Structure 1
Amino acid sequence: MKALDGRNNIKVYNLSAGKSLPDWLTDRKRRQLSKRDVEFRRRIELIQDFTMPDVSGCVRVSPDGRYILITGTYKPRVKCYEVAALSLKFERCFDAEVVQFEILSEDYSKLVFLQEGRYVEFHNQGGRWFRTRIPKFGRDLAYHYPSCDLYFAASGSDIYRLNLHQGRFLNSLQTDAPGVNKCVFNNVHYLFTCGTEDGRIEAWDPRSRHRVGVLDCAMHMATENIQLGSYKSVKQLGITALAYNDTLTLGVGTQTGQVLLYDIRSDKPLLIKDHNDGFPITDLEFHNSAGLVLSMSPKIVKIWNKDTGAPHTSIESGVDYNDMCLVPNSGMLFLTTEDVKMQTYFLPSLGAAPKWCSHLDALIEELEEEDAPAQYDDYKFVTEDELKQLGLHDLIGSNMLRAVMHGYYIDVRLYNKAKLIANPFDYNDFMKRKVRQKISEDNQRGIQTKKLPNVNCELFERLMEEEEEKKKKKKGATAEALLKDDRFGELFSSADFQIDKDSYEFRLLNPVLSRMDKKKKKQKLQEEEEEQEFLRARGDLDDDSSDSDSIMSDMGDEEPEEKVKSDYKVKQDSKAERETWKQKLRSNDETLTRVQGSVEKKMDTSTSLNFTSADSLAELKANRKKLRKMTLADRLDMEDSSENVKQHTFGSLEMNYVIKKAPKFERLRQQQKEHQEERRKIYRSSAKLKGKFNAKESLF
């Protein structure tokens, strides 16, 4: 998938773009590449196997919108894709290539194919039903639903009619042209319109089978085409595409690459749009809701306004286009090409995504920031002269080279190695390396600070501490190895190696580390609390320092002061701080006595406690022995058994709860029970009445 920048800043999304593999690779090599190559494995396919063996021809969407039918070659075939499954439903092969086909039913159950060699095949749900031929080589077909007539435009002047209800050919319509290229019915009034080789449009009424009008488009092409003199015959001015927008608007595509919009009531075109590429217009589509016209030539699809002709956007590709189909009421477009892949485009400006691919909106958001790789990124195309320069001329004929056209495909890794050996000193590469080296040196000149990694910061800090504290021990050696070994560099840089401490596996494998972390956290909290208490006490002492002089004057030359001086040595040198500490101790004498009394009471109560019996002590000892012998997993399960939510391996969670019924349902159940009890009491058996009535006796 790839986002293309169209004209006028209109986003065009190529849903079929992506990395593809060469056709000559075997299935085994394809599987191996899909495993190794991340880009190929991450490719997005909207519809699986949306390809043809060689070339895709025509494409149609069923009227019910559930199926996509595409013809192609080689061998000639038709593929039907079911959009509900986004995959192939069935595939059928033909004996001749398909020129055009039509869907006769709402789904794929009734199909008609116009083939080369004048063949016409009818298919039902099971396969081919009938095959016939027409007198001339067919070019196009159209179906008239009211009369069940199938019209064939052929290389002659006749338009052949086949009635599918009667199963026979009817009288053909005679035209004045040497050949008829296109034919179409208007879906409202069913006016039959055909485009001829000589640049004319003939209109027929299918009810009377008479021609009702002729429109000469060649004159209007001549006024707009300045290269008219270069055409040698009038056949080069033929009509190549026809499409109706509504009851009156008719779009005409010409051989000269122009699109003419007509009102069928007038012989002059409302608008003439020129592709200016010299290629014929092969298909036309009208987008009613957006008021746009989609015109396709083999090289480009142009989207423009039907009223003014102003360009909306365009779609180009490296391969030629064969057919176009716009999904109704959406912005999705299918294009068949001269390539294996059938291209799918999505234009949000035309409409929303179809219902069967509503997930496309989420994918488009991802595409805005991604670049899809080009085709065959793993292979390099080289000519024979380049092989001689690289010294790989001897590999011709081996499996290392694949001959294609005027050169060979070679693995890009082998090409890079050979190029490096053949030209070891490339001045441009040398200058680029020097510039990068200079930039890296300039960046390292600044002040370097040790930064913690974004992932596993705690593990990094613990390893650093172990390395600094004990380098001689094994822990220090392992920590140093982890920090300095390049093989473990991604442990602190990649988010894939982030340690989840809440996981069940971490608790099983690292119980000691988790407990050590808890102890360290508790120690840090205790140290912080002690520091805060000391700061508070320090603040209280500073507040009480003003009263220290009066207190000390009252104390006099008492013995407790000398006792305090001998028992407690104060580290501070200032006399004020020593006096504040003395005052604090004396003021806390009363509190100390109260605390001693409470402690004595607690000691008395603790000594009075005794166990009820010796059996309880034995049970406690036995339980302790069981706990010691239990495995770590059993201990963790026992700890988690009390919790309602449990965590299992691979991150799964288990929650236990009890479902309680509402009181309303309990009351209803009780009422039903009482009602059944009452009915059971009233119930009377009819077994006693058996045999009392005679079948012949009448009650009346």
Structure 2
Amino acid sequence: MSDVKVYTVNGAVPGSSSSIPDWLTKTRTSKVKGKRALREHVEGQIELIQGFEFPEASNKIKTTRDGHHAIATGTYKPQMRVWDLDELTLKFERHGDAENVDFIILSDDWTKTIHLQNDRTVELHTQSGFHYRTRIPRFGRSIAYHYPSCDALVSASGNEIYRLNLEQGQFMNPLVLNAPEDEPILGINCIDINPAHQLLAFGIDGHASVHFWDLRSRSVVGVLNLPKGRIARSTGRAKVTLPGVDDQSSSDALAVTAIAARSDGLSYAIGTSTGHTLLYDIRSPRPFAFKDQGYGLPLKRVAWLDGGSRMAGDGMVLSADKKVVKIWDRNTPSSNFVSITPATDLNDIHHIPGSGLLLTANEGINMASYYIPQLGPAPRWASFLENITEEMEGQSVRNVYEDFKFIEKNELRTLGLDHLIGTPALKPYMHGYFVSLKLYDTARVIANPFAYAEHREKLVKERLEKLADTRIRTRKNGAAASVKVNKALAERIARDAEREQRREETKRARKAKKATKEGETDVADDAMSVDEEVVGEEQLTLLNDPRFKDLFENPDFAVNETSREYALLNPSSFAMKNANSSRRKTAVEDEDDESDKMSSDGLGSSGNESSEDGSESEDSSDAGELNKHDPRSRPGQQNARLQQAYSRAREANRQSNKVHFVPLVAQANAPTGKTNDKDAPFGQRLVSRQQSKSSAEPTSTVRLSADGGMEMTFIPSGTGDDDSPAVARKKKEVRKGVEVFGAGMERGVEEPKGEMSESERSGRKQRRKGMRSGSKNVFRQTSS
């Protein structure tokens, strides 16, 4: 049933102890009168029993048969505490010498108890205090009391049950349990005495079995073997053993850890070390119900919850390990009536008969108690629980962090409160401190007196911006209109989105074209309809995503591109921006800027200025556009607009007056004399050059064919005209006694005239000065 409500009336809420510190949920007050008394109040919870706790942990808890007192044992120091349930407070506490393993209550009230200690001793306590102590041969595990014979039965490691007769005051012969040699008994974990017919049941450690004894015959009356194959398959986690500490053979062995007999005298609930609970009828060796806890941990307690049930009905079973408590119906073991997960590991749990209240002993300071109204009514001494729980349903749980502020150490230093570290004013928690909210507000006002004014100004500005948004204004283009900060990021995101959209449109157009070629008209129509739908929808990006609206509107989210964090995250872009802003221009860049300026003013030859006769220049802007690559064109596709622009530019160049077409073939009616005309054809200029040379030493011949062709033969000559500049230069360079041959090779040395300088004799030893480096050379355009 999922609607079952569980109220924590003592202790911490399950799962809250790890997330909320103890000092934040408790208010402690001490009274220094005789001895120190400590009282705790848990905020937002009911503290049913005052002082329901132990200094470190609690081991076992039980209530007396008259229902007026609760007794529990715990540590540290080892002690026993008794609470008066009628007064809902601690009655007394009694310390011991060793930690308690188990105890039983002999009387109807709290006055007579027997305690089994972990140092192999058995202690008897009365109303006046400690009464008697005796020892047993082995370390005890469980204790029970047989009322008809006044025997205290103590189980221990081994196969013997020790009997201490309280009427005679001496030990009787122990009960010896026998087992097969291949499965020896390692110990006896638990003892149960049936309240109907006083049949003894012993849970065996070493193999999964239960031995039944009758003290009247002092012999075993039956052995119940559990189905090993079924209980060995646990769904829980594997048990972790420590090498050298845990015995591997004992840790893997199955064992019975808890037994509970029902008051009808026929049903038994048996819990195992693998986390399984089996329900048996004493008349059948097969279980009629099977339950798995799910953790694979040994069961601490099994119990029958009879009487007082409201919605649960009769025959409810409680099974608990150290992690979870489950209450379920014996007829439907697969579903849980309720499941409780304590905040700390569980050691013991006790159900108050005829009610819906559970008391637990655990590994925490506070002992927990849970009230389940659907399980049963509240006890007589806590009848007000029903009214309080009804009021709690309509109340909201108060947040425990309302009166405290969590701050880090840097903020603490900014507020000037770092000198309070180590004092009760600051509570260390995780990577910071909890400080009172009043102290935090006071320190913040002192550190920044204008904080209120700044906050008020910010609120006024936000309200004005909100009012300005409601005014009628022209509609801007999409999400880009709301960009106030991080405009570079917004532009980059818009470009990426536009590029992606263009790529998708191209892909869909190709798909539709391919489908049209293949004759699939339906597919093409579907593709076109999808295109129309996609065009109507706006692509979701950071710009139009409402979750990231503040990134482009709130100035607090503006990216500081000059900060050190930005430089660490974007080293390349940061270095490029600094380089562009800080470095000086080189001489080449200065001259390029100057030439660009001249071109823009109409002084250069490559601009778009008009000539004197009104015609356009050769270097028009259309000529440059012809070389541009169109990224939208595909391989093999021609751009009609570019072809038309190219045709117009070619026709304009042909009609221009500055363009002269010089034929390569010599014309028949060309003059034969020497000419320097630039418009003369190449053949004519070559013929005139040959005629100017000596006829005795021809260097080339040119013949014209009938069809207009030209044939040229060139024979290099070793000498030329004496009057030519080349011959004069050669004669000038000839030196006396020096023979020149090859390319730059000489034979013989000419005596130097005068004395040689030091640099001519030994070579240059210093760097040239006043020379322009090759990297600073500039190539200028010269106009014709």
**TM-score, reference length from structure 1:** 0.54
Whichever residue aligns with residue 6 of structure 2, its letter is V
Paired letter, 1:213 = G
Matches of residues 410-559 of structure 1 in structure 2 within 5 Å? 410-413=434-437
Give the conservation status (yes or no) of the 8 Å contact 1:18–1:372: no
Contact 1:332 / 1:345 at 8 angstroms: preserved in 2? yes
User: Aligned residue pairs: how many?
Assistant: 424
Matching residue's letter, 1:281: L
Structure 2 contact 63–352 (Cα < 8 Å) conserved:
yes
Residue of structure 2 in register with 1:273 after alignment? 291
- Is 2:9 the partner of 1:15? yes
Q: Give SS of 1:335's match.
A: strand
Choose which of 176, 186, 202 in structure 2 pairs with 1:194.
202
Say whether the 8 Å CA contact 1:381–1:407 is kept in structure 2.
Answer: no
Looking at structure 2, the residues matched to 226 and 282 of structure 1 have their Cα atoms a distance apart, in angstroms, of: 18
1:525-576: CA deviation from partner (whole Å, max 9, x where unpaired): xxxxxxxxxxxxxxxxxxxxxxxxxxxxxxxxxxxxxxxxxxxxxxxxxxxx
Distance 1:271 1:192, change over 3 A: same
- Of all paired residues, the percent bearing the same amino acid is 38
SS at match of 1:15: strand
Give the structure 1 partner of residue 326 of structure 2: 302
Match for residue 217 of structure 2? Answer: 208
Aligned CA distance change for structure 1 residues 208 and 133 (closer, same or farther; 3 Å): same
1:363 aligns with 2:388: yes
SS at match of 1:188: coil
Write the deviation string for residues 323-375 of structure 1: whole angstroms up to 9, x where unpaired.
Answer: 11111111111111211211111111111111112222221221112245577
User: Distance between the aligned counterparts of 1:78 and 1:39, measured in 2?
Assistant: 23
Equivalent residue number for residue 283 of structure 1: 301
- The equivalent of 2:135 in structure 1 is 133
1:409 Cα deviation from its structure 2 partner? 5.6
Aligned to 1:696: none
For residues 462 and 160 of structure 2, the distance between their equivalents in structure 1, rounded to whole angstroms, comes to 75
CA distance in 1, matches of 2:464, 2:395: 31
Match of 1:181 among 167, 175, 189: 189
Aligned residue type for 2:7 = Y
Tell me how far apart the structure 2 counterparts of residues 190 and 156 of structure 1 sit (CA, whole Å).
Answer: 23
* Preserved contact between residue 11 and residue 366 of structure 2 (Cα < 8 Å): no
Contact 1:197 1:235 in 2 (8 A): no
Root-mean-square deviation (CA, aligned residues, Å) is: 4.0
> CA 1:29 to 1:98, structure 2 compared with 1: closer, same or farther past 3 Å?
closer
Specify which of 158, 169, 173 is matched with residue 171 of structure 1. 173
Q: Which amino acid aligns with 1:261?
A: L
Q: Measure how far apart 1:401 and its partner are.
A: 4.2
Tell me how far 1:275 sits from its aligned partner.
Answer: 1.0
1:76 to 55, 78, 103: 78
For 1:327, the aligned partner's letter is I
Q: 1:234 to 1:41 in 2, by over 3 A?
A: closer
Higher normalized contact order (CA 8 Å, seq sep 6+, divided by chain length)? 1
- Aligned partner of 1:233 in structure 2 is 249
SS of the aligned residue for 2:47 comes to coil
C-alpha separation in 1, matches of 2:24 and 2:440:
20
Contact 1:248 1:263 in 2 (8 A): yes
Equivalent residue for 2:718? none
Distance in 1 separating the partners of 2:101 and 2:153: 14
Pair 1:339-2:339 in alignment: no
Q: What is the Cα deviation at residue 400 of structure 1?
A: 3.9
Deviations 1:635-687, CA, capped at 9 Å, x for gaps: xxxxxxxxxxxxxxxxxxxxxxxxxxxxxxxxxxxxxxxxxxxxxxxxxxxxx
1:203 and 1:436, CA in 2 relative to 1: closer, same or farther beyond 3 A?
farther
Whose helix fraction is larger, Structure 1's or Structure 2's? 1
Partner of 2:517: none
Cα contact 2:236–2:296 (8 A) shared by 1: no
Alignment pair present for 1:248 and 2:266: yes
Alpha-carbon distance in structure 1 between the residues aligned to 2:102 and 2:6: 28
Please name the residue that 2:485 is paired with: none
Change (3 A) 1:434 1:139: farther
Q: 1:254 to 1:41 in 2, by over 3 A?
A: closer
Partner of residue 315, structure 1: 340
Aligned residue for 2:10, secondary structure, equals coil
Q: Match for residue 123 of structure 2?
A: 121
3-state SS in 2 of match to 1:11: coil
Deviations 1:247-266 (A, max 9, x none): 11111111111111111222
Aligned in 2, Cα 1:249/1:22: closer, same or farther, shift over 3 Å?
A: same
Query: What CA distance in whole angstroms lies between the structure 2 residues aligned with 1:296 and 1:171?
Result: 34
Please give the alpha-carbon distance, in whole angstroms, between the structure 1 residues aligned to 2:330 and 2:94.
Answer: 39
Map 1:677-688 to 2 at 5 A.
none
Take 2:205 and 2:10, find their aligned partners in 1: how far apart are those partners? 35
Deviation at 1:439, TM superposition (A): 14
Deviation at 1:407, TM superposition (A): 6.1
C-alpha deviation, 1:128, in angstroms: 1.1
Q: Distance in 2 between matches of 1:148 and 1:440?
A: 86
Query: Which has more radius of gyration?
Result: 2
- Could you list the per-position Cα deviations for residues 13-47 of structure 1 after superposition, in whole angstroms to 9, with x for gaps in the alignment? 111157964799874699xxxxxxx9979964322
Secondary structure at 1:356 match in 2: helix
Give ranges in structure 1 of 5+ residues lacking alignment. Answer: 1-6, 31-37, 443-700
C-alpha distance in structure 2 between counterparts of 1:376 and 1:439, whole Å: 34
Partners of 2:151 and 2:267 in 1: how far apart? Answer: 24
Amino acid aligned to 2:5: K
Distance 1:87 1:211, change over 3 A: same
2:465 and 2:364 map into 1 onto residues whose CA distance is 47
Structure 1's 440 and 105: CA in aligned 2 closer, same or farther, altered over 3 A?
Answer: farther
Deviation at 1:144, TM superposition (A): 0.5
8 Å Cα contact 1:181-1:194 kept in structure 2: yes
**Does the residue aligned with 2:2 lie in a helix, a strand or coil?**
helix
Asked if the contact 1:58/1:100 (under 8 Å) is kept, the reply is yes
CA gap of 1:367–1:196, structure 2 versus 1, over 3 A, is same
Shift of 1:380: 7.1
Q: Tell me if structure 2 keeps the 8 A contact 1:379–1:409.
A: no
Task: Name the CA distance, whole Å, in 1 between partners of 2:25 and 2:135.
Answer: 37
Answer whether contact 1:21 1:375 (CA < 8 A) is retained: no
**Contact 1:380–1:415, Cα closer than 8 Å, also in 2:** no
Q: CA deviation at 1:217?
A: 2.2
Taking the aligned partners of 1:117 and 1:337, their CA distance within structure 2 comes to 21
1:678 corresponds to which residue?
Answer: none
Secondary structure of 1:70's counterpart equals: strand
SS in 2 for 1:100: strand
Q: Tell me if structure 1 keeps the 8 A contact 2:267–2:281.
A: yes
**Structure 1 letter corresponding to 2:216:** R
* Distance across 2 between alignment mates of 1:333 and 1:350: 10
In structure 1, what is the Cα distance between the partners aligned to 2:236 and 2:12?
Answer: 40
TM-score, structure 2 length as denominator? 0.48
Aligned mates of 1:435, 1:174 — CA distance in 2:
89
In the alignment, does 2:238 pair up with 1:217?
A: no
